Amino acid sequence: MTEESAFEPLIIAFCCNWCSYAGADLAGTARIQYPANVVIVRVMCSGMVHSNMIIEALTKGADGVLVAG
Amino acid sequence: MTNSSLLGVEGEPGRFKASVLLKPRYIDPAKCTGCGECAKHCPISMPDTYNEGLARRKAIYVQYAQAVPLVYRIDTEACIGCGLCERVCLAKAVTYADAPREISLDVGSVILAPGYEVFNPVELFDYSYGRHPNVVTSLQFERILSASGPYRGHLLRPSDRGHPKKIAFLQCVGSRDEREHAGYCSSVCCMYAIKEAMIAKEHSADPLDCAVFYMDIRAHGKDFDKYFLRAQEKAGVRFVRSKVFKVEPKNGTGELSVKYLDASGAPAGEDFDMVVLSHGFRASKQAVDLANRLRIPVNEYGFVQPGTLRPVDTARGGIFACGAFSGPKDIPESVTEASAAAADAARLLAPARGTMITKVEYPPERDVRAEALRIGVFVCHCGINIANTVDVTAVREYAKTLPGVAFTEQNLYTCSQDAQRHIKEMIIEHSLNRVIVASCSPRTHEPIFRETVRQAGLNPYLFEMANIRDQCSWVHQTQPKLATKKAKRLVRMAVAKASMLESLAGASVGVTASALVVGGGIAGMTAALNLVEQGFPVFLIEKEAELGGNARLLSRTHDGADVREFLVGLIDRVKNHPKITVITQATVVEVAGFRGNFKVGYMVVPRKDILRLECGAVVVASGASELKPAEYLYGQHPRVITQLDLEQRLPEPGGELPGAPLDVPALETMKSVVMIQCVGSRQQGRMYCSRVCCTQAIKNALRLKELNPAMDIYVLYRDIRTYGFAELLYRRARAQGITFLRYDETQKPVVEAVGDGLLVKTFDHVLGEPLHIKTDAVVLAAAIVAPEESNLDLSHALHVPLNEDHFFLEAHVKLRPVDAATDGVYICGMAHSPKTVDESIKQANAAASRAATLLSKTQIQLDPVISEVIDANCDGCAYCVDPCPYKAITLVEYMQAGSVKKTVEIDDSKCQGCGTCQATCPKKGVVVKHFKLDQLSAMVLAALAEE
Amino acid sequence: MNGNADKSKMPIGSVLVVGGGITGIQSSLDLADGGYLVYLLDELPSIGGIMAQLDKTFPTNDCAM
């Protein structure tokens, strides 16, 4: 696979500090490789992610939104 | 001080000198960043003890990825001294010249919690352990199930990495077995085997059959029987009552044949793909050596065995023992004992509280509100952890171009001491007012950097991190260009957030340094005394006219300690302590306020008005009581009594019979007694074990045997649950000829009156036929039940939930066993669940210890990352009120310009900052500080922008 | 009580906790939170004890780590 191919989706992930964000850190410690086109926004609880945030992300160009908590 | 041993302790309680050996680590912990480059180059590969030998590690290693401290160590027994690690370590942390050092510490008290070892079943030749790879121990099986384990969480059998279809769990491997020098029960194996069987079934993609081969299932802890039932009914784990005598490999197949005697004693066998041995506890050699060095006696099995009434004491005053050092026990019991030991140490040292700790002084905080943005960005190489994948210089150059950024720099290790000193200097020199570190995870490093900016006069909330290691360089190692692009994106997001950061400070509230204890039994009085001796005044509310609770009905504990004498002493100390206010015939009716500041309303019989008191903490010790059975002719026949009834009639050894009414024949003249267990426990509507009854019945049976050795005693049971060292009592009872007969829940014994005496009809599972026993008396092990009505009232007043059996629920069943979900409220004794006297004492001291951590503070600082109402936006729709999991939001009304304005109010002391309100609000009327919608939105927009 | 408090009888406000498993850690936290200086000592290179080896704990099946 070439490093920069044609279309790559950009995914915004809202991750809870106590579980999924910690899980993403652990993936790092274990050197589990995954695509670079996901960026994590840390929240203290996935419960604080307003539905408008998700809509805003999608309308302003995100190809996918993940809320994990 | 890791990697260290305690050599000896001299001196007296309150003033000890401890000598400690610091063993060489060959790595400087101040320099090691835990990057792991050294281990990558180390040529030595050896079995990994953390993974129980199922995986391999290097001679330079950390025990596991999440280790604290995350500092490597060289195993000199394996190291060949090649010097590779020293050469590759950019932090210059390798110090081959390290040597052992001895230091001396002045301490007031010592707490010993050296833990235990697990039994190595290689000694049990018949189980094939160590000779067949598919026979593993339960700890090895934990590693197999673990995502960080040798098979990354895939359930595989070691011989061929195939998926097992059938797994057998063998209980009591090296427990309840004098041949292996372990006559005791290891207490925890039944439950962990059930857990492992259930998790294995969950992990397995194909249907998996799990069978547990056991003698008695010991699910004696709180809510354990419900879990056991779930394993049987929901998860379909099979339970086979049996004695396994052999595990035989079947040639070439990897399969194993389990040979056993079934419940009737008939031989049987079944084949499995894997066999898991539930191996028991052993006193560790290290722990025994430690005890010897400190001149502390241990029992015949190598455990410290404190008396039941002083359950964390050792033979030396001021030195306390807790956890598995004093016998097998599970996690919540260990945590409870840990707090209990802390309580005893704190009581001893109360006059010196706070004398050895110093308060950190900070420079005055700069007000940055009027300043233009001046963001400093520090990009970390983390040795080569980031720099090998991400172009750090490019990221830094890019950061310079972002709006508001006034200063950038790159560091080899940003978290090192010198780098932090440098950051402080740069903040001052360049008048920075926002700081970003692009390095590793805020979960581990944010506190360190917040401290740094605080020392430079900035509010700690003006700091932000970009996680370009754990969530970038480490996970995109093969894509350096994309990783660099992502790192820039993450820095751009951090700058966007930093631009909107505000200084925050949590509210500070005072603490009322006194406690309320609800309940005047052994638990309540123990908690009250510990707290008052730690220096905190106590109100003790008891609903009866007398203190003492259930203990008034007990004579001796199973190790022979005199409960009556102990109780009299305890009551005396409580009543005569000038700082304990005892309020009897009283009940709590309402509680307002929050941790540190409770306002309690209570009523005293016969008055009709509500009296009030104020306290900082509440300890719930409201107890439970013995059920009055409605079966087996109880209450209808004078010779059917409960164990507590019997206990009150038992004479002191060699003493006279107490003056109890003799509606049964004199105890010493009785020829036969039948005891029936689980009366009201472990059945529909009360699906829990009352925990104390097996040991209590056996204790009382042995006392009867003492009185009249010719007496025939039968104990009809479902599972004998003499956990820990109580198993030795069970062994003694059998040796003395007490007959134990099992019955099924579906086939309960029947008690009939025959003349003056009684006839008990049951079924003998070994003979396979009905059995009729003529007896002089029947003694029922009646369930322990919570006072439903009064617990419900107290539960509502304190906002502390009950479990379905009406016992108070703890905040976390494993890690916070005495804390209630409501901060500042603690639970102990039988209010929590049925338990023995020693367990109540431990829990009471633990509750006191937890309460003291709160009461010893003059002020408590509330976390500033909580919700805030934007009154102008809030229209009082109250959408946020119900979803709030902490009940921190109330709807209020006030007059504004002549009309009613509705809005909500946040109780800062209750809000945990979860932001559920923020997500439900349609008007941006309530936000979480530091995670406001605008702040999050700025990050999202920055993430979506291009370079 | 003697008005002149004898300094040599005053206890020392620090505690040595031996063992860095879940038990030793809990004792240390309570005492440190209560205003005492705590020395936590472990034979092994990192704290955590046996619980760190466990996968999950019942009944919630929470991760033990």
Q: Is the predicted pLDDT of residue B407 greater than 90, yes or no?
A: yes
In a domain, C8, yes or no: no
User: How far lies B333's CA from each of B598, B835, B838, B900, in Å?
Assistant: 28, 11, 12, 54
What is the nearest CA distance from A24 to chain B, expressed in angstroms? 6
- Coil, strand or helix at B417: helix
Helix-helix angle B442-455:A20-29, to 10 degrees: 100
Please state the ipTM of this predicted complex: 0.95
Q: Does B14 touch chain C (CB under 8 A)?
A: yes
Is A53's Cβ below 8 Å from some Cβ in B? yes
Question: Whole-number mean pLDDT of chain B?
Answer: 92
State residue B464 phi and psi, 5-degree precision: -145, 150
Q: How many CB atoms lie within 10 A of CB B179?
A: 9
Strand partners, B410: B379
Sign of CA dihedral B281, B285, B290, B296: positive
Q: Is B485 on the interface with A (CB under 8 A)?
A: yes
What is the token pair recorded at B105? 């510490």
Specify the higher pLDDT residue, B807 or B811: B807
| Interchain pair B345, C23: CB under 8 A | no
What the block records as the tokens of B622 is: 């409201």
Query: What are the backbone angles phi and psi of residue B257, rounded to the nearest 5°?
Result: -105, 125
Residue with tokens 């209808």: B636
pLDDT at A1 over 50: no
Per the listing, tokens 């922008």 go with B945
DSSP B862: P
Beta-bridged to residue B615, according to DSSP, are B598
Q: Which of B66, B914, B940 sits opposite A45 (nearest CB)?
A: B914
- What DSSP state is assigned to residue B908? T
How many helical (H) and strand (E) elements, i.e. helices and strands, does chain C have?
1, 4
Segment (H or E) for B466:
strand B463-467
Per residue in B380-394, pLDDT (tens digit) is 998 888 999 999 999
Tell me what pLDDT residue B721 has: 97
Q: What is the DSSP letter of B667?
A: G
Average pLDDT, integer, range A34-52: 95
Residue found under tokens 């409605």: B630
User: What's the one-letter identity of residue B706?
Assistant: E
Q: How far apart are CA B345 and CA B320, in angstroms?
A: 8
Question: Of A1-10, A45-54, B314-323, B810-819, which range is least confident?
Answer: A1-10
Amino acid at B874: C
Comparing CA positions, the residue from B460, B451, B466, B541 lying closest to residue B501 is B460
Task: Note the pLDDT tens digit of each residue in B729-751.
Answer: 999 999 999 999 999 999 999 99
Q: Give the mean model confidence (pLDDT) for residues B34-51.
A: 87
Amino acid at B90: L
C9 in a domain, yes or no?
no
Separation of alpha carbons B174 and B186, rounded Å: 9
Residue C27 lies in a domain: yes
Question: Do residues B618 and B599 lie in contact, with contact meaning Cβ atoms separated by under 8 Å?
Answer: no
Please report which confidence band the pLDDT of residue A7 belongs to, taking 50, 70 and 90 as the band edges: confident
Among B467, B477, B931, the residue with its CB nearest the CB of A48 is B931
CB B385 within 8 A of CB B469: yes
Alpha helices in B430-552 (DSSP H): 442-455, 480-499, 522-533
* Residue C30, C-beta contacts closer than 8 angstroms, at least 6 positions apart: B338, B339, B342, B343, B346, B849, B850, B852, B853
CB within 8 Å of B342: residues ≥ 6 apart? B111, B849, C15, C26, C27, C30, C31, C34
Query: Does the CB of B816 have a partner CB in chain C at under 8 Å?
Result: no
The answer to the question of residue C33 being in a domain is yes
Between the CA of residue B664 and those of B308, B667, B710, what are the distances in Å?
Answer: 31, 8, 18
Facing A29 at nearest CB: one of B467, B470, B943? B470
C2 pLDDT above the threshold of 50: no
Q: At residue B247, what is the residue type?
A: V
Distances (CA, A) of B243 to B185, B330, B718: 15, 24, 17
Task: Please tell me if residue A41 touches chain B, with a CB cutoff of 8 Å.
Answer: yes
User: Whats the size of chain B, residue-wise?
Assistant: 947
pLDDT of C3 > 80? The answer is no
CA distance B134 to B247: 11
pTM: 0.82
Q: Structural domain of residue C31, as residue ranges?
A: 15-63
Distance in angstroms (rounded) separating the CA atoms of residues A27 and A7: 25
Number of domains forming the structure of chain C = 1
pLDDT of residue B886: 85
CA dist B217 and B915 (Å) reads 44
Q: What's the first-to-final CA gap in chain C, in angstroms?
A: 49
CB contact under 8 A, B110 and C58: no
Contacts of B943 in chain A (CB under 8 A): 10, 12, 39, 41, 62
Residue B653 confidence (pLDDT): 55
Greatest alpha-carbon span in chain C: 57
For β-strands B209-214 and B238-249, DSSP reports them as parallel
Judged by average pLDDT, the poorest of A5-9, B307-311, B824-828 is A5-9
**Which residue, B751, B805, B771, is CA-closest to B631?**
B751
B/e letters for B422-450, b = 16+ CB within 10 Å, e = fewer, are: bbbebbeeeebbbbbbbbbbbbbbbeebb
The mean per-residue pLDDT over the stretch B201-225 comes to: 93
Please name the residues in contact with B115: beta carbons below 8 A apart, sequence gap of 6 or more: B284, B287, B323, B324, B325, C19, C21, C23, C49, C50
Q: Is residue C27 within 8 Å of residue C39, measured between CB atoms?
A: no
Measured between beta carbons, the chain B residues lying within 8 angstroms of C7 are none
Q: Is B839 helix (H, G, I), strand (E, B) or coil?
A: helix
B105 contacts C14? CB cut-off 8 A: yes
Residue B828 has pLDDT above 80, yes or no: yes
Q: DSSP character for B734?
A: H
Residue B13 has pLDDT above 50, yes or no: yes
Tens-place pLDDT, residues B687-725: 999 999 999 999 999 999 988 899 999 999 999 999 999
pLDDT at B576 (0 to 100): 96
For the stretch A14-29, pLDDT in tens is: 999 988 998 899 888 8
Domains of chain B: 4-112 (no CATH), 116-283 (3.50.50.60), 285-352 (no CATH), 375-498 (3.40.50), 515-624+786-859 (3.50.50.60), 626-784 (3.50.50.60), 867-928 (3.30.70.20)
Read off the pLDDT of residues B603-652 as tens digits, 9 standing for 90 and up.
Answer: 999 999 999 999 999 999 999 999 999 999 999 998 899 999 898 888 76
Torsion sign over Cα B489, B492, B494, B500: negative
Q: Among A21, A33, A41, select the one facing B478 at the smallest CB separation.
A: A33
Beta carbons of B456 and B423 less than 8 angstroms apart: yes
- Residue C41 falls within a domain, yes or no? yes
Burial of B835 by CB count in 10 Å (0-12 exposed, 13-18 middle, 19+ buried)?
buried
Phi–psi pair at B829, nearest 5 degrees: 70, -155
Q: Which of B393, B505, B498, B499 is nearest to B437 (CA)?
A: B498
Rounded CA Rg of chain B: 32
Give CA–CA dist B428/B342, Å, rounded: 43
Secondary structure class of B268 (helix, strand, coil): strand
The pLDDT value recorded for residue B124 is 87
SS3 B232: helix
Q: Span C4-31, mean pLDDT?
A: 87
- Contact of B71 with chain C, judged by CB distance below 8 Å, is answered with yes
- Coil, strand or helix: which one is B68? strand
Are the CB atoms for B236 and B263 separated by under 8 Å? Answer: no
Our CA-based measurement puts residue C45 at a distance from the nearest CA of chain B, in whole angstroms, of 5
Q: Starting at the edge strand that comes first in sequence, how are the strands of the sheet with B135-137 ordered?
A: B135-137, B274-279, B166-173, B209-214, B238-249, B256-262, B267-272
Residue found by looking up tokens 């970390």 in the block? B380
| C-alpha A53 chain-centroid distance | 13
Cβ neighbours of A39 in B, within 8 Å: 486, 489-490, 493, 943
- pLDDT band for B577, please (50, 70, 90 cuts): very high
In three-state secondary structure terms, B129 is coil
Q: What is the mean pLDDT of residues B85-112?
A: 92
B66: burial class by Cβ within 10 Å (0-12, 13-18, 19+)? middle
> Distance (Å) from the C-alpha of residue B447 to the closest C-alpha of chain C?
18
Angle B224-233/B189-203 helices, nearest 10 degrees? 40
What is the C-alpha to C-alpha distance for residues B835 and B53, in angstroms, rounded to an integer? Answer: 38
pLDDT exceeds cutoff 80 at B322: yes
* pLDDT, position C62: 56
